[in-house]
Amino acid sequence: MVKMTRCLLLWILLIGATLRCSAQQGTNDTIRVGAIVLGDDTLPHIWIREVVVRERAPKWAIKERRRQKREAEAYSRLRYNVYVVYPYAVAAAFILKDVDSVLNSLYSKEAKKQFKRNKENELNRKFKEELKNLSIEQGQVLVKLIARETGRPCYEIVKEMKGGFNAAIWQTVAVLFNNNLRNHYDAEGEDAAMEQIVQEILARGHFEMKK
């Protein structure tokens, strides 16, 4: 059976070579190949590149490789996003500390209100256009990192600065974009990967605080 298969393969190769030759003309169209003699017949002999056949990996191994690939891609995206928004989180913590310091020195409600309004306008001029270009994922990371740097969820910060009604509106908008201003930062739990990246940034000194 094996000999018959080999002979059939050789005949197929011979026919294919014959058809190619018959379709070509000219003195330089001849292709020289090796030959093998079988009885009274001389057949072309061509070495075929070796093909390695491996056993298919089990389904669990394929799923595991896919899972690892997804996790690696997710971590890569997270790392990129943390590097992009961490300077904004540091700046937010610095500004909030400065605001709290000034507010504590003001006794008039009107003066505090005016100061908050002026500070909001100033921050809008500095950061609004840049922050508008952040992706939804980057916005989610920024909310977490602001909570990390300030020790307070963004909802509480907005509530303190603009009142409960505005905080509720902002939270509603955030939810529409798959975000949550009430999120806390859990460095040892769900945000452990993010914390690892932050520590990497701090170790490298690889960021410049937004001013």
- pLDDT tens-place string over residues 32-82: 767 777 777 777 777 778 888 878 888 888 888 899 999 999 999 999 999
Angle at 31 between CA 28 and CA 33, to 5 degrees: 150
Cα dihedral 91, 92, 96, 99 sign? positive
Position 189 scores a pLDDT of 93
Q: What is the pTM of this model?
A: 0.67
Mean pLDDT (the chain, rounded): 80
**Model pLDDT for residues 75-120, shown as the tens digit of each residue:** 999 999 999 999 999 988 888 888 878 878 878 888 878 877 887 7
Confidence of residue 8 (pLDDT cuts 50, 70, 90): very low
**Helix extents (H) in the chain:** 2-22, 59-105, 109-132, 136-150, 154-162, 164-176, 192-204
